[in-house]
């Protein structure tokens, strides 16, 4: 069984994430707990924050939360997944934060700005405009699950220092072949929750809101997908809920390269991270208007 890697907050409002309903998590570390580590050096990796009206009552405050992960691919473009930026209420507003611990920032801002979700979001993030792939959702063979948030570069630069991720050349993964892919080092990153824990109330996914990283290894390559193994005995970690849109890097020719974005995987987050390739014609055609491609 697979589940879209969005957060609990997002599952309440997006049909695409209905399979990913999980219990509210206590903020702590993210990605899977095994073979994972904080990623303060991955300053190009960020969290997608949203404000939205979840009860259609203008008299009540909108909600605010981080909902997905993503990556800066140039000075003003944040790459994420289309299922993170579609199927929201009409008044949704998107923000991007490159803070290491976005959950702690949201908690502080909520205490400082009670009842003002927009002020909370502005405290931790910069507002931008979402551009989802116009063909999303497509077929399973290629759902076009890719989106960008265009941001004001001056506002981003004033708050954070980062080097944009390097994108792959056309067909870079296919060119490696099975042997090359099996010997390639992969790394996933994001703000998502940990793998499933079972307790008296059922299955929960603790953690989330902190930028983490974990090694993963090659499993399979398809026209639009690269599947990455998250099996602990092989030294892997992996992605979970809230890591949707987040980066999966590969070391190509000695350079860390953003080759795919997290989309889905197995429900308990133990086995496989299913990621959307960025070296395909479809992904490159979508990205071309927003960023200079290699």
pLDDT at 193 over 60: yes
Identify the weakest region by mean pLDDT among 66-70, 118-122, 151-155, 233-237.
Answer: 233-237
Is 294 a member of any domain? no
28: DSSP letter = S
Is 118 a member of any domain? yes
* pTM listed for this prediction: 0.88
User: Average pLDDT in the 181-197 region?
Assistant: 83
Is 47 a member of any domain? yes
CA–chain centroid gap for 60, Å, is 29
Higher per-residue confidence, 33 vs 255:
255
Domain CATH number, residue 55: 2.40.10.10
Identify the weakest region by mean pLDDT among 11-20, 247-256, 269-278.
Answer: 11-20
β-sheet bridge partners, residue 38? 212
Is 135 a member of any domain? yes
Higher per-residue confidence, 211 vs 272:
211
What's the chain's Rg over C-alpha atoms? 18
Is 289 a member of any domain? no
In a 3-state reduction of DSSP, which class is residue 119?
helix
pLDDT of residue 16: 34
pLDDT digits (tens, 9 = 90+) for 88-101: 998 899 999 999 99
Cβ atoms < 10 Å from Cβ of 29: 19
Identify the weakest region by mean pLDDT among 16-20, 119-123, 142-146, 276-280.
Answer: 16-20
Distances (CA, A) of 135 to 139, 143, 165, 278, 286: 10, 8, 25, 16, 10
Domain count, the chain: 1
Handedness of CA 92, 21, 278, 136 (dihedral sign): negative
Write the DSSP assignment of 35-82 as a string of letters: T-EE-TT-TTEEEEEEEE-SSS-TTSPPEEEEEEEEEEEETTEEEE-G
Is 288 a member of any domain? no
User: Average pLDDT in the 121-129 region?
Assistant: 98
Domain that holds residue 271: 1-282
Higher per-residue confidence, 198 vs 262:
262
Query: How does the average pLDDT of the chain come out, rounded?
Result: 86
CA–chain centroid gap for 51, Å, is 17
pLDDT at 204 over 90: no
pLDDT of residue 276: 97
Say what percent of the chain tops pLDDT 70. 82
pLDDT at 291 over 70: yes
Ramachandran region of residue 190, left (φ > 0), alpha (ψ -120 to 50) or beta? Answer: left
Say what percent of the chain tops pLDDT 90. 69
pLDDT digits (tens, 9 = 90+) for 54-78: 888 877 768 999 999 999 999 999 9
> How many Å apart are CA 217 and CA 233, to the nearest integer?
12
In a 3-state reduction of DSSP, which class is residue 17?
helix
22: DSSP letter = -
User: Average pLDDT in the 32-42 region?
Assistant: 83
Is 292 a member of any domain? no
> Would you place residue 86 in the very low, low, confident or very high pLDDT band (cuts 50, 70, 90)?
very high
Is 249 a member of any domain? yes
């Amino acid at each position: 069984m697979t589940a879209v890697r969005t957060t609990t907050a997002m599952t309440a409002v997006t049909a695409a994430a209905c399979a990913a309903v999980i219990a509210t998590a206590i903020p702590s570390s993210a990605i899977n707990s095994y073979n994972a580590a904080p990623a303060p050096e991955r300053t190009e990796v960020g969290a997608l924050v949203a404000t939205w009206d979840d009860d259609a009552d203008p008299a009540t405050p909108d909600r605010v939360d981080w909902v997905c992960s993503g990556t800066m691919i140039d000075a003003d473009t944040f790459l994420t997944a289309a299922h993170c930026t579609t199927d929201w209420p009409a008044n949704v507003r998107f923000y991007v934060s490159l803070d290491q611990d976005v959950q702690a920032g949201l908690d502080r801002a909520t205490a400082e700005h009670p009842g003002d979700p927009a002020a909370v979001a502005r405290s931790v993030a910069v507002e931008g405009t979402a551009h989802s792939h116009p063909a999303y959702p497509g077929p399973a063979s290629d759902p076009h699950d890719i989106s960008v948030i265009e941001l004001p570069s001056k506002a981003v630069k004033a708050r954070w220092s980062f080097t944009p991720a390097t994108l792959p050349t056309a067909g870079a993964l296919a060119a490696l072949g099975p042997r090359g892919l099996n010997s390639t080092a992969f790394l996933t990153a994001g703000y998502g929750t940990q793998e499933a824990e079972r307790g008296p109330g059922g299955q929960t996914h603790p953690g989330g809101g902190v930028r983490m990283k974990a090694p993963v290894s090659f499993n399979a390559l398809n026209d639009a997908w690269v599947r990455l193994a998250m099996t602990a005995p092989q030294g892997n970690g992996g992605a979970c809920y809230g890591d949707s849109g987040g980066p999966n890097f590969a070391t190509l020719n000695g350079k860390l390269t953003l080759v795919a974005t997290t989309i889905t995987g197995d429900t308990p987050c133990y086995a496989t991270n299913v990621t959307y390739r960025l070296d395909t014609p479809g992904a490159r055609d979508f990205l071309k208007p927003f960023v200079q491609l290699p």
